[in-house]
Structure 1
Amino acid sequence: MLLPWEYGVRNLARRPVRTALTLVALATVVMLVFVVVGFIRGLEQSLSVSGDANVVLIYSVNSEENIENSSIPARTPALLTASVGGTVKRFGVTHVSPELYLGTRVKTQGGDGGLGLVRGVTLTAPLVRRSVRLIEGRWPAEGEILVGRLAAAKLGSSDEEMAIGKSLEFEGEEWQISGRFAAGGAAYESEIWCRLGDFQAATKRQDLSLVSMLLSATGSAAEVSLFCKERTDLELRAIRETDYYASLQQHYRPVRLLAWFVVVLVSAAGIFAGLNMMYGAVAGRIREIATLQAIGFRRRAILISLVQEGVLLAAAGSLLSGVIALTMLNGMAVRFTMGAFTLRIDSVAILIGCGVGLLLGVVGALPPALKALRAEVATSLKAV
C-alpha cells in the first residue's frame, strides 16, 4: 500500500523555510541550464537562417573563411556579370552586390563603443540579401549609415545610442544613423551598413571584400566556381552562402561542445547540491520514517513518497525557471565573435531544462531515502 499523495505535499508545507531554500536552489540550477542551452540554440539558429541557397559568395581564396581579410579587385562584379549567366535580373538591374566588409573600432556619442562590423554596400544589397527589411528610417545618403537591430549588443552600447539621428564614429569619420534594419535573426543584424563609395573613401581602399550574386532557377553555383578556378589571376573562390555558414557551424562546433559540457557540469553540481539538501531533510525525519515502517507501510511505499516530494519541488523549480526564462531571457541579445545573436528559449531548451530539473528531483532524493530506509526500525525510533 502506498502513502497518500497528500502526505508528501503536506510534508513540504510543514517545513516552509527548508522547502523554500530547496526550491530556490533547484530553480537556480535549472535557470543556468536554460541560459546555456538558450545560448547554444540561439547561435545555431542565427547561423542556420543567415544563408540563402540561391546566393553565391565570391571572395579571395587566401582569406579562407575569414571574409574580413578578403581583398578582391573592384572590377570583379563586372567580370562576373559578363562571364557568368544565370544571375537574377529584374527591370534592368542585375542582382549582384559588391561589398566591402570590415571589423573596425566604432565609437558612440556617449563615448563608449567597441569592435563593430561595417559593410559597405550599394542599392543592390537588399535585392541579394532578401531577408533584410528596413524597420525604421530610410536608406542612407552620403555620410549616413543603417544599423542592424543587434548592432547595439555587438558594440556593448544601449539601444538609445543606436536611435535614428544619433552619430557613430569609425575610420576617422562621423556617420549619422538614418535607419534601422532587421534580417529575421540572420548574422547581418549585428552589422552597420553604409554606402560602398563612402566606406571606400573613409578606409582609403578601392578594392572589395566580396561579391554576392543571387542566382536564378537556371543559374549554377558550379559555373561561378568554374569561372573562379579558370581566372587564376584573380585568386577567387566561390561558395554558396548556405555552405559558408555551414562551415561556420563547424568552426564554432568546439564552442557548442564546451557549452554542452557546461550543461553537464551544472547538472552534476545541481545533483550534488540536491543530495546535500535531501540528506539534511531526511536526517531530521528518521523517527518519522521508522514510525511509518512500524505501522505497516512498506519501504517501497515510503521511498516513493520521499521521491514524490523531491519531484514536486523540482517540478515547481523547473516551472518557475521556465517562466522566468521565457519572459526575461528569451530574445536577450548576446555579443559574440561573429557579431551578436539572441538567446533562444525554444521547445528544445524547455525540454532539456525541465528534464534536468526533474532528474535532479529523482536522483537527489533516492540516495538519502535509501540510506534512511536501510537503518533498523528499532534503532531509528530511538533517534533524536
Structure 2
Amino acid sequence: MLLPWEYGVRNLARRPVRTGLTLLALATVVMLVFVVVGFIRGLEQSLSVSGDDDVVLVYSVNSEENIENSSIAARSPALLSASLGGTWKRFGVDHVSPELYLGTRVSTSDQENGLGLVRGVTYRAPLVRRGVKIVDGAWPEQGEVIVGRLASAKLGSHSDALAIGQTIQFEGATWTVSGHFAAEGAAYESEIWCDLSAFQTVTKRQDLSLVAMLLAPGASAAEIELFCKERTDLELRALRESDYYASLQQHYRPVRLLAWFVVALVSGAGVFAGLNMMYGAVAGRIRELATLQAIGFRRRAILLSLVQEGVLLAAAASLLSGVIALTMLNGLAVRFTMGAFTLRIDSVAILVGCGVGLLLGVLGALPPALKALRESVAISLKAV
C-alpha cells in the first residue's frame, strides 16, 4: 500500500524554511544550467543563420580562416565581375559587394576604446546580405555609420550611446550614427557599417578584405572557385558563406564542448547540494519513517513518498527558473570573440534545464532515503 499523495505535499509545508531553502538551492542550479545551455544555443544559432548558400566569399588565400587578416587588390571586384557570369544581376547592377572588414578600437560617449567590428561597404552590400534590414534611420553617407542591433553589446556600451545622431570615434575619425539594422540574428548584427571609400581613407588603405558575390539562380560556386585556383597570381580563395560559418562552428566546437562540460559540473554540484539538504531533511524524520513502517507501510512505499517530495521541489524549482529564464535571460546579449549574440532559451534549453532539475530531485532524494530505511524499526523508533 502506498502513502497518500497529499502526505508528501503536506510534509513540504510543515517545514517552510527548509523547503524554501531547498527550493532556492535547486532553482539556482537549474538557472545556471539555463544560462550555459542558452549560451550554447545562442552561439550555434548565430553561426547557423549567418551563412547564405547563395553567397560566395572571395578573400586572400593567405588569411586562412580569418577574414580580418585578408588583403586583396581593390580591382578584384571588377575583375571577378568581368571574368565570371554566374553572379546575380538586376537592373544592370551586379550583386557583388566589395568590403573592408576590420577589428578596431571604438569610442562612444560612455565607453573608451571598446573593441568593435567595422565593415566598410557600398550600397551593394544589402543586395548581397539579403537578411540585413534597416530598422530605423537611413543608409550612411560620408562620415556616417549604421550600426547593428548588437553593436552596443560588442562594445560594452549602452544602447543610448549608439542612438541616431550620436557620434563615435574610430581610426582617428568621428562618425555620426545614421541608423540601425537587424540581420535575423546573424553575426553582422554586432558590426558597424560605414562607407567603403571613407573607411579606406581614414585607414590609409586602398585594398579590400573580401568580395561577397550573390550567385544567380542555377549558378554554381565551383566556377568562382575554379577561377581563383587558376589565377594563382591573384592569390584568391573562394568559399561559400555557409561553408565559412560552418568552419567557424568547428572552430568554436571546443568552446561548446567546454560549455556542456560546465553543464555536467553544475548538475553534479547540484546533485551533491541536493544530497546534503535531503540528508538533513531525512535525518530529522527517522522516528517518523520508523512509525510509518510500524503501522504497516512498506519501505518501498515510504521511499516513493520521499522521492515524491524531492521531485515536487525540483519541479517547482525548474518551473520557477524556466519562467525567469524565458522572461529575463532569453534574448540577453552576450559579447564574444566573433562579435555578439543573444542567449537563446528555446525548447532544447527548456528540456535540458527541466530534465536536469527533475534528475536532481530523484538523485538527491534516493540515497538519504535508502540510508534511513536500512535501520531496523526498533532502533529507528529510539532515535532522537
Q: Which residue of 1 aligns with 2:218?
A: 218
Q: Contact conserved, 1:113 with 1:157, CA < 8 A, in 2?
A: no
Report the CA distance shift for 1:111/1:261 in structure 2 as closer, same or farther (over 3 A): closer
> What per-residue deviation string (whole Å, max 9, x for no partner) do you get for residues 257-300 of structure 1?
00000000000000000000000000000000000000000000
* TM-score, normalised with respect to structure 2: 1.00
Match of 2:234, SS state, is coil
Contact map agreement 1:113 1:156 (CA 8 A) in 2: no
Matches of 2:361 and 2:220, distance apart in 1? 55
1:185 alignment counterpart = 185
Aligned partner of 1:146 in structure 2 is 146
- Alignment pair present for 1:7 and 2:7: yes
The AA in structure 2 aligned to 1:226 is L
Q: 3-state SS of the aligned residue for 1:52?
A: coil
Q: Note the alpha carbon deviations across 1:135-191, whole angstroms, 9 max, x for none.
A: 010001110000000000000000000100001100000000000000000000000
One-letter code aligned to 2:292 = L
In the alignment, does 2:65 pair up with 1:65? Answer: yes
SS class of match (2:232): coil
> Which residue is equivalent to 1:277?
277
Q: How does 1:165-180 map to 2 (within 5 A)?
A: 165-180=165-180
**1:219 positional shift:** 1.5
CA positional deviation for 1:334: 0.1
Which residue identity does 2:253 align to in structure 1?
A: R
TM-superposed deviation, 1:206: 0.2
Q: Counterpart of 1:238 in structure 2: which amino acid?
A: A
Amino acid of the residue matched to residue 266 of structure 1? V
Contact 1:190 1:339 in 2 (8 A): yes
Equivalence for 1:345: 345
2:111–2:157 contact (8 Å) kept in structure 1? no
Q: Secondary structure at the match of 1:233?
A: helix
Shift in CA distance, 7/111, structure 1 to aligned 2, threshold 3 Å: closer
Residue of structure 2 in register with 1:266 after alignment: 266
Pair 1:252-2:267 in alignment? no
Look up the match of 1:17: 17
Q: Deviations over 1:233-254 (max 9, x none)?
A: 1100000000000000000000
What amino acid is the match of 1:70? S
CA contact (8 A) 1:112 1:157 kept: no
Alignment partner of 2:233: what SS? coil
**Does residue 1:108 correspond to 2:108, yes or no?**
yes
Percent identity over paired residues: 82
Note the C-alpha offset of 1:109: 1.9
* 2:27 aligned with 1:27: yes
Is the Cα contact below 8 Å between 2:110 and 2:158 reproduced in 1? no
Task: Tell me by how many angstroms 1:128 deviates.
Answer: 0.1
Deviations 1:50-72 (A, max 9, x none): 01000000000000110000000
CA RMSD for the aligned pairs? 0.5
The SS at the match of 2:176 is strand
Aligned to 2:374: 374
Q: Which runs of 5 or more structure 2 residues have no equivalent in the other structure?
A: none
Task: Tell me how far apart the structure 2 counterparts of residues 141 and 113 of structure 1 sit (CA, whole Å).
Answer: 24
CA distance in 1, matches of 2:289, 2:132: 64
Q: Determine the C-alpha separation between the residues in 1 that align with 2:111 and 2:20.
A: 45
Query: 1:145·1:177 contact (CA, 8 Å) conserved in 2?
Result: yes
TM-score by length of 1: 1.00
Structure 1 residues not aligned, in runs of 5+: none
**Are 2:68 and 2:102, in contact at CA under 8 Å, matched by a contact in 1?**
yes
Contact residue 149 and residue 189 of structure 1 kept, 8 A: yes
Which structure 2 residues correspond to residues 80-91 of structure 1 after superposition, within 5 A?
A: 80-91=80-91
Number of positions where the alignment pairs a residue of Structure 1 with one of Structure 2: 384
SS at match of 1:218: coil
Q: CA deviation at 1:112?
A: 3.0
Where 2:165 maps in the other structure, the secondary structure is coil
